[in-house]
Structure 1
Amino acid sequence: MKSLMSLFSKMTGKNNISKITHSYQYKFTAAYGVQDFPEFVGAATVDDVQVGYCDSNIKTVKPKQDWMKKLFERNPEHLEWYSQKCLGNQHVFRANIDILKRRLNLTEEGPHILQRMNGCEWDDETGEVIGFNQYGFNGEDFLALDLKTLTWIAPKSQAVLTKLLWDDEKARLEHNKHYCIYKCPDWLKNYIRHGKSFLQRTKNPSISLLQRTPSSVVSCHATGFFPGRAEMFWTKDGEEIHEDVEKGEILFNNDGTFQMSVEFNVSSVPPDGWRRYDCVFQLSGVGDDIKITLDKSVIRTNSYPPEFPAALVAGIAGGFLLLLVIAVIVLWLKKRTGFRHVDGED
């Protein structure tokens, strides 16, 4: 897949990170032919913070933040809606995988992964709302709903037949449009109000320079920051540079904070010129930049690349298939192409 998780464009400068756009997302993943992985997983996020989770093993919705738990306690019908969506989508997704296996003449054994990401973004300054609904299959973009035309977009020929069939489901299309324009942003605003103290806090990261060997790239790694709207880059004599620089994605930590890395190939930098280079970190809502100078005396070695998630490291021990599932999920959710849709509810 050639590029889907911002919702979306990558942030490339200080002006971008100062803009506050809130997001509410559902992410559903159905797995077929994979051992030691739930058949169905659902998660809801607000501003990239997971607020709810369910899977086919626990068969219930679990709030992931204290403020979300309190909201569910005050509004039990809200929790019931989520529970029904989780259980209902589990059966729908399994049926859709069976249909796609036949339609695309795929092997019965698998593994096969069907995913959906839907929700909305809301700009609290302009009031602009953007809805999206996107399907991925086996790590590739499969279908997206165009809100303006209320038709599905098929990026690959294998999805055309499904597109044509779904384009005829007019009632469903209108239902999804209503969800995108009204229900999703209303719920998002409600969640922002209830979780304000948590979602609008700021936390600066711990920043380190990491290098595997004296001849490898130097990675500037920031971890523990919040919110997930941040920018990180290398400068030379105070000016941002792009040559020999590779920027990683913003990733989740288990404690609800974020991490990111930006690598710099120092092979062409003379020893006496290292201190002309700085790694700069910028966090939305915080005025001052954080800088760390390229200095051999502060570089630490690291067993794993800093962008290599700890969950993936643990997954390797669990077996190849589980790692494959995780890789497919990360591929689709982290390399989206800005392929937008709108379908909030099946």
Structure 2
Amino acid sequence: MMRSVVLLLLGAHLAYAGTHSLKYFYTAVSGDIDFPEFTTVGLVDEGPFMYFDSNAMKAVPKTEWMRQSVGADYWDSETQTSIGNHQNFKNNIQIAKERFNQSKGVHTYQQMYGCEWDDQTGAKDAFLQYGYHGEDFVSLDFKEMRFISPVQQASISVQKWNNDRGKIEGHRNYFSTVCIEWLQKYVDYGKSSLQRKVSPQVSLLQKSSSSSVTCHATGFYPSGVTISWMKNGQEHHEDVDVGELLPNEDGTFQKTSTIRVSPEEWKNNQFRCVVEHQGETKEEEEIRTNGGDSLPIMPIVAVLIAVVLLIAIGAIGFVVYKKKQGFKPVSGSDDGSNSSAHPQA
């Protein structure tokens, strides 16, 4: 589900042991908002490795391993591709606004696409999704190889794209072969960083004695983590809100789980937060922070998106270069750009 206005979080494809993911996020924004009109972000294993926005108009690496692995031609190509995508997405957000009969206010049009690969089993997966106003708009059903949508306003796009069987086959080849090849290449580029394991630091945080209690896990890598609560030795799921996975500036991740419980219930029962990561379990039952600053959560947009946008985790988006230079989208979109990963609506 897409529930973020700026960071596109279309589904949770986390990088558990053995599984690697490559994602690209795009976000177009219109209206009176202090945010770039267009952003693109690429992520490997949920961490941003490149970023572009329409203010700076320049694609840049977000990791040292990308700086060292590719040359200036790569970034020049990515910059030109993102500039083209900027105009394409400006057109798409206008089309979406017309279909929803909207003209005023802040609006967003987003896309997320990419693939996953398990380096132990060889299993593959792919995803291509669009969102408008933080809600699902169009997605590609890879089992049926056809576009689907939960909203009537997208019916024109769905019919148009499904009638172009050549483009559909291009998607099939791209996501099953090309995307996986470049995911494997990027994993090799960053293997010293991407294959590291860092255990989480776990704390229980509370603003006041009557506030909810938050279990905060941070500084862990890779991103796959599970946070659960125990009450008197039994699993407890009531009144629990699990937060989104967020990136830290150093490439690690953080996540929270908040439980709503009265001071009396907390005092009269034994509550424990259990964090599982890479086969290791950490537990915490003592509140270490009481009153004071908010949680030290890094906004995804600052890193990246991050996304997730996005995210995005930096911020959101991408399309990449010639096949020998990077992750190559399928060719030939409706408006003449060099990628059909984001055709005109």
TM class by smaller structure: 0.7 to 0.9
Q: Alpha-carbon deviation of 1:77? A: 5.0
Cα contact 1:225–1:259 (8 A) shared by 2 = yes
Task: Indicate if the aligned counterparts of 1:179 and 1:344 stay in contact, CA closer than 8 A.
Answer: no
1:234 match? 229
Distance of 1:2 and 1:87 partners within structure 2: 25
> Whole-Å Cα distance in 1 between the matches of residues 260 and 84 of structure 2?
49
Calculate percent identity across the aligned residue pairs. Answer: 37
Per the alignment, residue 170 of structure 1 pairs with 165
Q: SS of the residue aligned with 1:29? A: strand
Of 275, 279, 289, which residue of structure 2 is paired with 1:281?
A: 275
Hey, what's the Cα distance between the residues in 1 that align with 2:177 and 2:199?
Answer: 35
Q: What per-residue deviation string (whole Å, max 9, x for no partner) do you get for residues 116-151 of structure 1?
A: 000001112221111111000111110001223332
Amino acid at match of 1:56: S
Change (3 A) 1:150 1:77: farther
> In structure 1, the residue corresponding to 2:36 is in which secondary structure?
coil
Partner of 1:39: 37
Distance in 2 separating the partners of 1:227 and 1:79: 26
How far apart in 2 are the matches of 1:194 and 1:222? 28
Pairwise CA distance, 1:270: 4.9
Structure having the higher helix fraction is 1
Asked if structure 1 preserves the Cα contact closer than 8 Å seen for 2:69 and 2:189, the reply is yes
The structure 1 residue matched to 2:97, chosen from 95, 101, 115, is: 101
**Distance change >3 Å, CA 113–CA 18, structure 1 → 2:** closer
1:286-343: CA deviations, max 9, x gaps? x4311112x35x3432433x3x8454999xxxxxxxxxxx9x946999xxxxxxxx96
Shift of 1:46: 0.1
Q: Is the 8 A contact 1:136 1:332 kept in 2?
A: no
Give the one of 3, 9, 18 matched to 1:5. Answer: 9
**SS of match in other structure, 2:58:** coil
Inter-CA distance 237–85: structure 2 relative to 1 (3 Å threshold): same
| Equivalent of residue 53 in structure 1, options 51, 54, 67 | 51
Structure 1 counterpart of 2:53, one-letter code: D
Superposed displacement of residue 240, structure 1: 2.4
In the other structure, the counterpart of 1:323 is none
Return the TM-score normalized by structure 1: 0.79
1:224 maps to which residue?
219
1:257 to 232, 252, 257: 252
Are 1:117 and 2:112 matched, yes or no? yes
Pick from 119, 122, 126 the counterpart of residue 127 of structure 1. 122
Q: TM-score, normalised by structure 2?
A: 0.79
> Hey, what's the Cα distance between the residues in 2 that align with 1:289 and 1:250?
18
Deviation at 1:253, TM superposition (A): 2.1
The SS at the match of 1:57 is coil
Residue by residue over 1:223-274, the C-alpha shift from the partner in whole angstroms, topping out at 9 and shown as x without a partner, is 2222211111112344322123332222122332211112223327556644
Aligned-partner residue type, residue 95 of structure 1: N
Is the partner of 1:127 in helix, strand or coil?
A: coil
Name the CA distance, whole Å, in 2 between partners of 1:302 and 1:247.
22
Once residues 73 and 168 of structure 2 are traced to their aligned partners in structure 1, the CA distance between those partners, rounded to angstroms, is: 25
Aligned to 1:67, what secondary structure does the other structure show? helix
Note closer, same or farther for the CA distance 1:273–1:101 as it changes in structure 2 (3 Å cut). closer
- Deviation for aligned residue 1:194: 1.3
Q: Give the aligned partner of residue 25 of structure 1.
A: 23
Of 249-258 and 87-96, deviating more is 249-258
RMSD value, Cα: 3.1
Q: Which amino acid aligns with 2:129?
A: Q
Q: How many pairs are equivalent?
A: 311
Mapping of residues 72-91 of structure 1, within 5 Å: 72-73=70-71, 77-91=73-87
| Among candidates 291, 300, 306, match of residue 301 of structure 1 | 291
Relative distance call for 1:81 and 1:147 in structure 2 (3 A) is: farther
Partners of 2:300 and 2:43 lie apart in 1 by 21
Amino acid at match of 2:80: Q
Tell me, what secondary structure is at the counterpart of 1:289? strand
Whole-angstrom CA distance in 2 between matches of 1:231 and 1:241:
14
Which amino acid counterpart does residue 250 of structure 2 have in structure 1?
D
Deviation at 1:2, TM superposition (A): 6.4
8 Å CA contact 2:115–2:175 kept in 1: the answer is yes
Q: Is the 8 A contact 1:279 1:292 kept in 2?
A: yes
Compared with structure 1, are the counterparts of its residues 26 and 313 closer, same or farther at alpha carbon in structure 2 (3 Å cutoff)? closer
Q: 1:270 to 1:116 in 2, by over 3 A?
A: closer
Distance in 1, Cα, partners of 2:54 & 2:101: 26
Match of 2:134 in 1: 139
